[in-house]
Amino acid sequence: MGWYIVRRLVHAVPILVGVTVVTFAVLAAAPGDPVLMMVAPEQQNTADLAALRAQLGLNKPLPVQYAVMMTNLVTGRLRSFRERRPVAEIIGGALGPTALLAGLALAAAAIVSAPVALVSALRPYSALDHVVTMFSLLGIALPSFWFALVLIFVFTDRLTWLPASGLRPEGVAGYSPALVWPYLVMPTIVLALSILPLLVRYARSALLETLHEEYVLVARAKGLTGARVLGRHVLRNSLVPVVTVLGLVIPGLLSGALVVESIFAIPGIGRLTVDGALARDYPVVMTTTVVGAALVIVSNLLTDVSYAFLDPRIRFD
């Protein structure tokens, strides 16, 4: 197992390098000049744009810019074009809100999807199963921003129960749970709804398939109670496909946070990425892209490793 993990991590290095090359090429080919984005339009005629471009290293050939940027990224010296602060410091400040939001959304989706999928699988093709299927398909088809706008319209504009933006009241320092939770309710619901239908569909299919396996029929024939059959024979053997889906949706939470954090003005990595892309802040976009790619690699690795614990027949040599 240890050598398998080491090999996977070694293979991840060229993948990360490829991601950075593609990201830098897209940023360089995109329209817009980072220098002009930093200088107000009324000052562009008088400002020394060439000096600013040289200060940022944008006057060098693209391969040199890429090499310098990657060197600074690896050594932790990469600075934002716009804020002139280390990108690691900026990412560190934005990581907490995104991790909190993603963790709450994942927990909420897992807690809701498990019983819904189980009840739907125990009564296949019933009226309840059809309702669950219909809402799952609607959840997959409808975009996250639509749910966000509906919640804002209902709970902020009409009922005035919940705030529509930010993570804490203005002028308040710190993140007290009593003050933060109203700001997290709607973003958590929206982000959870982006993965909940997928979890329900895959969990239902896995449970429905396992319920018709021969060893489950044998366990029932031996006189085991329904709860014991579900607990010892059905649920655990249905976890492998569900864990596979979790390995895919966990990195997807970061991309979902792009929309959610932008709509609700949450100062997380998603909003930081959007603002960096709009401002042509290459260091910020490069760093957040590497963080997202690393999250995908680590999530896939943890998913593969978890197979061995869920199914003793699986071994990694």
The whole-number average pLDDT for the span 95-114 is 89
Task: Specify the pLDDT at position 1.
Answer: 64
User: Are the beta carbons of 118 and 111 closer than 8 angstroms?
Assistant: no
Residue 245 has pLDDT above 90, yes or no: no
Residue 197 has pLDDT above 80, yes or no: yes
Q: Which of 236-240, 262-266, 294-298 has the lowest mean pLDDT?
A: 236-240
- Phi then psi for 79, rounded to 5 degrees? -120, 150
Q: Which of 44-53, 194-203, 272-281 has the lowest mean pLDDT?
A: 44-53
Task: Specify the pLDDT at position 189.
Answer: 92
Structure tokens at 136: 């799952």
Q: Where are the domains of the chain?
A: 87-143+187-310
More confident residue, 309 or 280: 280
pLDDT band with cut points at 50, 70 and 90 for residue 312 = low
Q: With H, G, I as helix, E, B as strand and everything else as coil, classify residue 79.
A: strand
pLDDT band with cut points at 50, 70 and 90 for residue 28 = confident
Neighbours of 120 (CB within 10 A): 25
| All residues at 6 or more sequence positions from 262 whose CB lies less than 8 Å from its CB, including other chains | 270, 271, 274
What Å distances lie between residue 245 and 15, 110, 122, 135, 300, CA to CA?
A: 22, 12, 21, 19, 10
The whole-number average pLDDT for the span 73-86 is 88
Task: Specify the pLDDT at position 226.
Answer: 67
Residue 317 has pLDDT above 60, yes or no: no
Task: Specify the pLDDT at position 22.
Answer: 93
Structure tokens at 193: 């709804």
Task: Specify the pLDDT at position 233.
Answer: 67
pLDDT band with cut points at 50, 70 and 90 for residue 185 = very high
Task: Specify the pLDDT at position 30.
Answer: 83
Per-residue pLDDT tens digits for 136-175: 888 888 888 898 999 999 999 998 899 988 887 776 766 7
Over pLDDT 90: what percentage of the chain?
13
pLDDT band with cut points at 50, 70 and 90 for residue 211 = confident
More confident residue, 257 or 12: 12
CATH of domain 87-143+187-310: 1.10.3720.10
Mean confidence (pLDDT) of the chain:
83
Per-residue pLDDT tens digits for 32-43: 778 877 777 666
The whole-number average pLDDT for the span 188-212 is 87
Residue 24 has pLDDT above 70, yes or no: yes
pLDDT band with cut points at 50, 70 and 90 for residue 209 = confident
Task: Specify the pLDDT at position 99.
Answer: 87
Q: With H, G, I as helix, E, B as strand and everything else as coil, classify residue 46.
A: coil
User: Are the beta carbons of 164 and 184 closer than 8 angstroms?
Assistant: no
